[in-house]
Protein backbone atom coordinates (compact mmCIF):
# COMPACT_ATOMS: atom_id res chain seq x y z
CA UNK A 1 0.00 0.00 0.00
CA UNK A 2 2.83 2.42 0.83
CA UNK A 3 4.49 1.58 -2.49
CA UNK A 4 1.25 2.34 -4.35
CA UNK A 5 0.90 5.70 -2.57
CA UNK A 6 4.51 6.55 -3.38
CA UNK A 7 4.00 5.65 -7.04
CA UNK A 8 0.79 7.69 -7.19
CA UNK A 9 2.64 10.68 -5.76
CA UNK A 10 5.34 10.25 -8.42
CA UNK A 11 2.66 10.26 -11.10
CA UNK A 12 1.14 13.44 -9.71
CA UNK A 13 4.49 15.16 -9.29
CA UNK A 14 5.52 14.29 -12.83
CA UNK A 15 2.38 15.88 -14.19
CA UNK A 16 2.98 19.01 -12.12
CA UNK A 17 6.46 19.20 -13.57
CA UNK A 18 5.05 18.95 -17.08
CA UNK A 19 2.49 21.68 -16.39
CA UNK A 20 5.23 23.94 -15.06
CA UNK A 21 7.38 23.24 -18.08
CA UNK A 22 4.60 24.48 -20.33
CA UNK A 23 4.68 27.97 -18.89
CA UNK A 24 8.32 28.27 -17.86
CA UNK A 25 10.16 27.45 -21.10
CA UNK A 26 10.13 30.05 -23.87
CA UNK A 27 11.50 27.65 -26.51
CA UNK A 28 8.43 25.75 -27.78
CA UNK A 29 10.36 22.75 -29.13
CA UNK A 30 12.15 22.28 -25.80
CA UNK A 31 8.82 22.59 -23.98
CA UNK A 32 7.20 20.01 -26.24
CA UNK A 33 10.13 17.64 -25.74
CA UNK A 34 9.97 18.06 -21.96
CA UNK A 35 6.23 17.44 -21.97
CA UNK A 36 6.60 14.33 -24.11
CA UNK A 37 9.30 12.90 -21.83
CA UNK A 38 7.34 13.64 -18.67
CA UNK A 39 4.15 12.20 -20.11
CA UNK A 40 6.04 9.04 -21.02
CA UNK A 41 7.31 8.80 -17.45
CA UNK A 42 3.82 9.38 -16.09
CA UNK A 43 2.42 6.59 -18.27
CA UNK A 44 5.12 4.18 -17.07
CA UNK A 45 4.35 5.09 -13.46
CA UNK A 46 0.61 4.65 -14.05
CA UNK A 47 1.27 1.22 -15.50
CA UNK A 48 3.32 0.31 -12.41
CA UNK A 49 0.58 1.52 -10.05
CA UNK A 50 -2.07 -0.39 -11.99
CA UNK A 51 0.02 -3.55 -12.04
CA UNK A 52 0.75 -3.38 -8.30
CA UNK A 53 -2.83 -2.58 -7.41
CA UNK A 54 -4.59 -5.05 -9.68
CA UNK A 55 -2.29 -8.03 -9.00
CA UNK A 56 -3.48 -9.94 -12.05
CA UNK A 57 -3.11 -13.68 -12.47
CA UNK A 58 -1.51 -14.74 -15.75
CA UNK A 59 -4.78 -15.19 -17.62
CA UNK A 60 -6.16 -11.81 -16.55
CA UNK A 61 -2.87 -10.08 -17.31
CA UNK A 62 -2.85 -11.58 -20.80
CA UNK A 63 -6.40 -10.30 -21.39
CA UNK A 64 -5.98 -6.92 -19.66
CA UNK A 65 -2.69 -5.41 -20.83
CA UNK A 66 -3.34 -5.31 -24.61
CA UNK A 67 -6.75 -3.73 -23.95
CA UNK A 68 -5.20 -1.32 -21.48
CA UNK A 69 -2.59 -0.23 -24.06
CA UNK A 70 -5.41 0.53 -26.49
CA UNK A 71 -7.27 2.47 -23.78
CA UNK A 72 -4.11 4.32 -22.71
CA UNK A 73 -3.42 5.33 -26.32
CA UNK A 74 -6.88 6.88 -26.51
CA UNK A 75 -6.28 8.59 -23.16
CA UNK A 76 -3.07 9.99 -24.64
CA UNK A 77 -4.99 11.51 -27.53
CA UNK A 78 -7.38 13.14 -25.05
CA UNK A 79 -4.39 14.28 -23.02
CA UNK A 80 -2.96 15.96 -26.12
CA UNK A 81 -6.09 18.11 -26.27
CA UNK A 82 -5.73 18.99 -22.59
CA UNK A 83 -2.05 19.91 -22.97
CA UNK A 84 -2.93 22.05 -25.98
CA UNK A 85 -5.61 23.90 -23.99
CA UNK A 86 -3.24 24.46 -21.06
CA UNK A 87 -0.53 25.75 -23.40
CA UNK A 88 -3.04 28.09 -25.01
CA UNK A 89 -4.13 29.31 -21.60
CA UNK A 90 -0.52 29.92 -20.58
CA UNK A 91 0.23 31.79 -23.80
CA UNK A 92 -2.79 34.06 -23.36
CA UNK A 93 -2.90 34.29 -19.57
CA UNK A 94 -1.99 37.98 -19.28
CA UNK A 95 -4.30 39.10 -22.08
CA UNK A 96 -7.13 36.54 -21.89
CA UNK A 97 -10.42 38.00 -23.11
CA UNK A 98 -13.99 36.69 -22.82
CA UNK A 99 -13.94 34.89 -26.17
CA UNK A 100 -10.64 33.13 -25.37
CA UNK A 101 -11.87 32.17 -21.89
CA UNK A 102 -15.08 30.81 -23.40
CA UNK A 103 -13.14 28.80 -25.98
CA UNK A 104 -10.84 27.35 -23.33
CA UNK A 105 -13.81 26.36 -21.18
CA UNK A 106 -15.43 24.65 -24.15
CA UNK A 107 -12.22 22.69 -24.72
CA UNK A 108 -11.87 21.67 -21.07
CA UNK A 109 -15.54 20.65 -20.76
CA UNK A 110 -15.14 18.60 -23.94
CA UNK A 111 -12.04 16.97 -22.42
CA UNK A 112 -13.93 16.09 -19.22
CA UNK A 113 -16.83 14.60 -21.18
CA UNK A 114 -14.53 12.70 -23.53
CA UNK A 115 -12.62 11.19 -20.60
CA UNK A 116 -15.86 10.01 -19.00
CA UNK A 117 -17.14 8.72 -22.34
CA UNK A 118 -13.89 6.78 -22.87
CA UNK A 119 -14.26 5.05 -19.50
CA UNK A 120 -17.89 4.24 -20.31
CA UNK A 121 -16.84 2.83 -23.69
CA UNK A 122 -14.07 0.65 -22.25
CA UNK A 123 -15.68 -0.59 -19.04
CA UNK A 124 -17.70 -3.28 -20.90
CA UNK A 125 -14.54 -4.33 -22.74
CA UNK A 126 -12.56 -4.63 -19.51
CA UNK A 127 -15.50 -6.44 -17.89
CA UNK A 128 -15.55 -8.97 -20.71
CA UNK A 129 -11.77 -9.44 -20.48
CA UNK A 130 -11.28 -9.67 -16.69
CA UNK A 131 -14.73 -9.79 -15.08
CA UNK A 132 -16.92 -7.10 -13.56
CA UNK A 133 -15.23 -6.86 -10.15
CA UNK A 134 -11.72 -6.51 -11.59
CA UNK A 135 -12.95 -4.11 -14.28
CA UNK A 136 -14.66 -1.96 -11.66
CA UNK A 137 -11.49 -2.02 -9.57
CA UNK A 138 -9.44 -0.90 -12.57
CA UNK A 139 -11.84 1.95 -13.40
CA UNK A 140 -11.67 3.00 -9.75
CA UNK A 141 -7.84 3.00 -9.82
CA UNK A 142 -7.79 4.82 -13.15
CA UNK A 143 -10.20 7.43 -11.80
CA UNK A 144 -8.10 7.95 -8.66
CA UNK A 145 -4.97 8.44 -10.74
CA UNK A 146 -6.83 10.94 -12.92
CA UNK A 147 -8.07 12.79 -9.83
CA UNK A 148 -4.49 13.04 -8.55
CA UNK A 149 -3.37 14.49 -11.84
CA UNK A 150 -6.33 16.88 -11.89
CA UNK A 151 -5.59 18.05 -8.36
CA UNK A 152 -1.92 18.65 -9.10
CA UNK A 153 -2.75 20.53 -12.30
CA UNK A 154 -5.36 22.64 -10.50
CA UNK A 155 -2.79 23.46 -7.86
CA UNK A 156 -0.16 24.53 -10.40
CA UNK A 157 -2.27 26.42 -12.93
CA UNK A 158 -3.23 29.94 -11.86
CA UNK A 159 -6.85 31.08 -11.75
CA UNK A 160 -7.96 33.46 -14.52
CA UNK A 161 -7.22 37.07 -13.61
CA–CA distance, 124 with 138 (Å, rounded to integer): 12
What ranges do the domains of the chain cover?
A: 2-156
pLDDT of residue 16: 43
Which tens digit of pLDDT belongs to each residue from 24-56? 444 566 577 777 777 777 888 899 999 999 999
- Cα pseudo-dihedral 142, 144, 150, 151, rounded to 10: -160
Contact 22, 90 (CB under 8 A): yes
Bigger pLDDT: 16 vs 92: 92
Average pLDDT value over all residues in the chain? 84
Contact 146, 7 (CB under 8 A): no
CA distance readout (Å), 123 to 47, 82, 137: 17, 22, 10
pLDDT exceeds 60 at position 140: yes
- Report the predicted TM-score, pTM, of the whole model to 2 decimal places: 0.78
Bigger pLDDT: 80 vs 5: 80
Amino acid sequence: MKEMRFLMMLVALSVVSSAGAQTATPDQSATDTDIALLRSDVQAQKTDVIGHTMQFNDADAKAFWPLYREYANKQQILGDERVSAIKSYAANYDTLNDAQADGLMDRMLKFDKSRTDLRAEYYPKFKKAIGAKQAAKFIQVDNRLSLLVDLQLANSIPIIQ
